[in-house]
Amino acid sequence: MSTVPPNKDPEPANLLDRQVDRREFLKLAIFGAGSLLAACFGGAGLTYFLSPAFKQKQDAWVDLGPVGDIPQAGPVKMDYIQRQADGWTTVEGRSSAWVLREDLNVTVFNPHCTHLGCAYRWDDKREAFLCPCHSGVFDKKGNVISGPPPRPLDRYQAKIEEGRLYILPGEKAS
Amino acid sequence: MIEPLLNWLDETTGWRKLKATLLDRKIPKGVNWSNTLGSLLLFCFGVQAITGMLLAMHYSASPDHAYQSVQYLGSQVPMGAFLRGLHHWTASAMVVLAVLHLMRVFFSGAFKYPRQMTWFTGVALLLVVIGLGFTGYLLPWDQKAYWATTVGSKIASITPVIGPWVGKILKGGDTLGAVTLARFYSIHVLVLPALFVSLVLVHLFLIVWHGIAAPPERMKQEPSGDWKAGVDRRYHDLKEKGVPFFPDIVFKDMMAVLLLFAVLAALAYFKGAGLEDMADPTATDYNPRPEWYFLFLFQFLKYIPGKLEAVATSVLPGLAITVLFLLPFLDRGARRHPLDRKSWTGLGLAALGGVVFLTVQGLRSPDVNVEIPKNPEVVQGKRLFAELRCASCHSIDGKGGVVGPTLDNAGSRRGKDWIEEHFRNPQAMTPGSKMPNFKLLDTEVEALTAYILSLEGGAYSADAPKLFEDQCMSCHMINGKGDDSGPDLSLEGKTREQGWIEIYIREPEKIYPDSAMPGYAKDLTQPQIEDLARYLAAQRGTKGSVTRVAGAKPAKAAKKGKAALGPKGEGSD
């Protein structure tokens, strides 16, 4: 059994018992309200501003025509027009891809050099892809022969349906 | 540790002195919650600046993209609808708060010596806020935007003498179009905000310089002699006994700001900003209404005969603004209390009463045109139809090319699924078709299909012709069958769209108040009315469209006792 001590401590050790100074309270309230506002408004604003980072790119398969029509001698550049949503507009964007066909075996390359994105071309004499910017050179399978490119040429996903070639630009082949 | 850093900052910026001037300054006792209005306005401007910067990231100031960009912003961008809602409601709040702020200063005589310049900048700020509102609501390029601005710039152009030039300068030419939109956008996001910030800086400087006006005190009579020194002395005494700006006054401001933000955020979240149909200069069924804070002027014009139009649109508002501006010269002296300035107080109350009365009248006045809900997909489809130049080969209502089939009744002839597939791959559906494959996006296919189906109001069921026979033929006829006491409806679909017909069947008096036709809201169910409206919208005099029913032949469907609502995609020819 505990008994009440006869002499109470004259100075309460508990800090909570201390009256919060009015000025301190006002400052705290101002700071609290400001933080709440900043969190709500800032949260919404940042979500909006940063949203492109989380946006999934929606690609559509592009029809490049009958596979049989693609020459087999070496890689060919194929241009296509793709109707696609661009923000709030729809554009008919012109793009291209390099296509290497060996019978029904088709490899489609992203037309930009893997170094810094310049457009390369196929050189028949040297049997290589040449990049005009920093002299990157790739063989016809896209492997780096010389120069600064860090990796082989990027490939697009490709599929053949009913004899027609479809590619999925923007995605690397898995 | 931190002290040397603070000292260094003080040496380089003088912030301690600045803090003492701005935050520790004393505010006279008795300054109450109505004094938070100015801070609320400043907060609102901050909200507008930030939301405005964000909205501009998804906005295109040209008539062919503005509407789409606002649509995109509201539907595709996370928090886009909320931030646009916030911008919209904060704009309204700013007008309300600015008027309340002005009223407080007016009734308490706070514009008097030595604060006249604060008043001038304040009135200028109010005009900038109104200008921001006026230029802002053109930007979405919807019906409201287009028509309210048409009326607004017309008002400007009937100003005596300078009107025609003002109108042209405002629009950037003779017509409301691309130049107007770009001009309004620049004024809205660059010119007026720059003006606002400059004026606010002066306004705020003056507030700190003179100190916030103390509450007005009664004065039996106008003091004589050097009364300005007396005013200064009294203010000095009151200020001495006052409270520090920080934290006492800032606390009140902050609480008011928090409450305001909660209200605005709720409005933005639950009500949003709304977007009407895209601006259509050919529309005749729209009810142009300005934003509610201009409604009193709009309503006022209804009472003014045409000859005196300019008096109401420019002379009177011009006079009111001039009086407001010159107030410190008109209402002079030391006496500030509203009861010591009875005639000014009375004038203020009368003006306020008039504005409130006209606004309420304006809100109450019925719309002339009935609102007919439009299907946004159909609207988009119609636009695509024009954009892709479909009319080069196909005709609608006898207008267009003859290379491809006419599309008036394609909906009932082919059905929804067939049409969609045909858009995706014309040759697969019609071998040898000359129609190019446009490689349309899914949303575009859906919109175009909706438009084609809408040409006859969509597919109606087999019950619709029977309904017409039972309910309508005693007064109306189609193709010679029925009675001629009411209008012949054989070509109804050529002049009216399904939405209109639907409203008319349900509540005829809503469209023609003295219509002889009874309403069918009670006798028919809503699906029946819609069905009947689709049937009537299909009456276009096109060969074969009259008896066709989507998906199945009428007799068959009727025999099975099944209403074939919704096309099944079986081409019936």
Token look-up 């010596």 returns B113
As a whole number of angstroms, the longest Cα–Cα distance in chain A is: 107
% of chain B exceeding 90 in pLDDT: 47
% of chain A exceeding 70 in pLDDT: 85
The one-letter amino acid code at B498 reads: Q
The predicted pLDDT at position A18 comes to 54
Q: Is the confidence at residue B558, as pLDDT, over 90?
A: no
- Rounded to an integer, the average pLDDT of B229-246 is 92
Residues in chain B: 573
The predicted pLDDT at position A14 comes to 53
How far A44 CA sits from the closest chain B CA (Å)? 6
- Rounded to an integer, the average pLDDT of B380-404 is 87
How far A70 CA sits from the closest chain B CA (Å)? 21
**B479 or B13: which carries more pLDDT confidence?**
B13
Average pLDDT value for chain B: 87
Mutate to test the interface with B, among A48, A49, A54 (most CBs of B within 10 A): A48
Residue B64 phi/psi, 5° resolution?
-85, -5
**A37 or B562: which carries more pLDDT confidence?**
A37
| B439 burial type by CB count under 10 A (0-12 exposed, 13-18 middle, 19+ buried) | middle
Q: Is the confidence at residue B402, as pLDDT, over 60?
A: yes
Q: Is B243's Cβ below 8 Å from some Cβ in A?
A: no
Q: Is A38's Cβ below 8 Å from some Cβ in B?
A: no
Are the C-beta atoms of B141 and B181 separated by less than 8 Å? yes
Q: Report chain A residues whose CB lies below 8 A from the CB of B250.
A: 26, 30
The predicted pLDDT at position A19 comes to 57
Q: What is the dihedral of CA B501, B505, B511, B517, to 10 degrees?
A: 130
Q: Is the confidence at residue A125, as pLDDT, over 70?
A: yes
Q: Which of B47, B69, B441 sits opposite A90 (nearest CB)?
A: B441
| The pair of three-digit structure tokens given for residue B120, joined into one six-digit string | 């001038």
Q: Report chain B residues whose CB lies below 8 A from the CB of A28.
A: none
Closest CA to A118 of A135, A104, A133: A133
Are the C-beta atoms of B335 and B476 separated by less than 8 Å? no
Q: Report chain A residues whose CB lies below 8 A from the CB of B54.
A: 45, 48-49
H/E segment holding residue B506: helix B498-506
Mutate to test the interface with B, among A35, A88, A92 (most CBs of B within 10 A): A88
Closest CA to B301 of B310, B349, B293: B310
Q: Is B301's Cβ below 8 Å from some Cβ in A?
A: no
Pairing of strands A105-109, A155-161: antiparallel
In whole angstroms, what separates CA B499 from the centre of its chain?
A: 23
Chain segment A27-50, per-residue pLDDT in tens: 999 999 999 999 999 999 999 999
Q: What is the dihedral of CA B492, B495, B500, B504, to 10 degrees?
A: -50
Could you tell me which chain A residue has the CA closest to the CA of B444?
Answer: A90
pTM: 0.81
- Rounded to an integer, the average pLDDT of A2-22 is 55
- Rounded to an integer, the average pLDDT of B488-493 is 84
Position A55 confidence tier, pLDDT thresholds 50, 70, 90: confident
The one-letter amino acid code at A127 reads: E
| The pair of three-digit structure tokens given for residue B403, joined into one six-digit string | 């290379």
Q: Is B436's Cβ below 8 Å from some Cβ in A?
A: no
The predicted pLDDT at position B66 comes to 96
Contact B47 A85 (CB under 8 A): no
Position B457 confidence tier, pLDDT thresholds 50, 70, 90: low
Position B255 confidence tier, pLDDT thresholds 50, 70, 90: very high
Q: Is the confidence at residue A1, as pLDDT, over 60?
A: no
Could you tell me which chain A residue has the CA closest to the CA of B443?
Answer: A85
| Beta pairing partners, A144 | A138
Chain segment B96-120, per-residue pLDDT in tens: 999 999 999 999 999 999 999 999 9
Which SS3 state, helix, strand or coil, does residue A62 take?
strand
Q: Is B443's Cβ below 8 Å from some Cβ in A?
A: yes
Q: Report chain B residues whose CB lies below 8 A from the CB of A83.
A: 438-441
Contact A37 B258 (CB under 8 A): yes
Position A5 confidence tier, pLDDT thresholds 50, 70, 90: low
